[in-house]
Amino acid sequence: MFTGIVTDVGEVLVAEDRAAGLRRLTIACAYEAASIAIGASIACSGVCMTAVATGREGKRDTFSVDAAAETLRLTTVGRWRTGTRVNLERSLKMGDELGGHLVSGHVDGLAEIIAREDLTDMARFTLRVPHPLARFIAQKGSVALDGVSLTVNAVTADTFSVLIIPHTLSVTTFAALQVGDQLNLEVDVMARYAARLMEQS
């Protein structure tokens, strides 16, 4: 479980295809490798992944994860290559501050940026979402985009907008995003359960 508060931006150093549709990704990070337990969950641009190895490349600590065929197909992970920058968040511990909202790291789909408006030190993104997911997104509700907890500003049919504040632009991958880019989207779990309850009533 995560909160959507990014604690590091990592860099993919190696993307190696393996048997049975697996791809092993080695990611450089600011976390001490010795502090990452094998089997620990780390959200990588919103995708909950399991650390299978740790190490060091030059002066940088690293961890490795295996991405299965479904993850490669349904998320942006299949496009990651050497040099790709990814938002990182380690899993919650008991007593940690819930600074964003509860995020599982299970991606629901991809949201595509259809407009970017640069403001003073900020940016507003408008995104299109797959139609089946649009009903889970509400004005002033929460979404996770590439692992970042954000508040929805406005909703129109299959689109919504978010405002990215200066701090978020400086500590995530969002500053480099452009129209046409796709982001891993996780809708608010509360919205999903509320919709399910309404279906059953």
pTM exceeds 0.75: yes
Amino acid making up residue 201:
S
User: What DSSP character marks residue 116?
Assistant: E
Residue 192 has pLDDT above 80, yes or no: no
Q: What is the pLDDT of residue 29?
A: 98
Task: Please provide residue 144's backbone torsions phi and psi, each rounded to the nearest 5 degrees.
Answer: -115, 125
Residues designated catalytic: 2, 41, 48, 50, 68, 106, 151
Give residue 1's Cα distance to chain centre.
13
Residue 196 pLDDT level (bands cut at 50, 70, 90):
low
Q: How confident is the model at residue 102 (pLDDT cuts 50, 70, 90)?
A: confident
pLDDT at residue number 67 = 97
* Rounded Cα–Cα distance for residues 184 and 165 (Å): 19
Spell out the domains of the chain, with CATH numbers in brackets: 8-90 (2.40.30.20), 109-200 (2.40.30.20)
Range of weakest confidence among 36-40, 93-97, 103-107: 93-97
Closest by CA position to 58, among listed 35, 33, 36:
33
**8 Å CB contact between 153 and 164:** no
CB atoms near residue 74 (< 10 Å): 15
pLDDT in tens, 123-179: 999 999 999 999 999 999 999 999 999 999 999 999 999 999 999 999 999 999 999
The SS3 call for residue 157 is: coil
Phi and psi based region of residue 82 (left: phi greater than 0; alpha: psi -120 to 50; beta: remaining): beta
What is the rounded radius of gyration, in angstroms, for the C-alpha atoms of the chain? 17
Categorize the per-residue pLDDT at 106 as very low, low, confident or very high, splitting at 50, 70 and 90: very high
What is the rounded average pLDDT for all residues in the chain?
93
Strands (E), 3-136: 8-17, 23-29, 41-44, 47-57, 60-67, 85-90, 109-118, 123-128
Output the pLDDT for position 190: 75
Judge contact between 103 and 115, C-beta under 8 A: no
Question: What kind and span of H or E run contains 153?
Answer: strand 148-156
Band (pLDDT 50/70/90 cuts) for residue 200 is low
- The pLDDT value recorded for residue 174 is 98
| pLDDT one-digit tens code per residue, 35-59 | 999 999 999 999 999 999 999 999 9
Compute the distance between CA of residue 167 and CA of residue 122 in angstroms, rounded to an integer. Answer: 9
CA angle 105, 38, 79 (to 5 degrees): 45
Give residue 97's pLDDT. Answer: 76
Q: At residue 193, does pLDDT exceed 70?
A: no
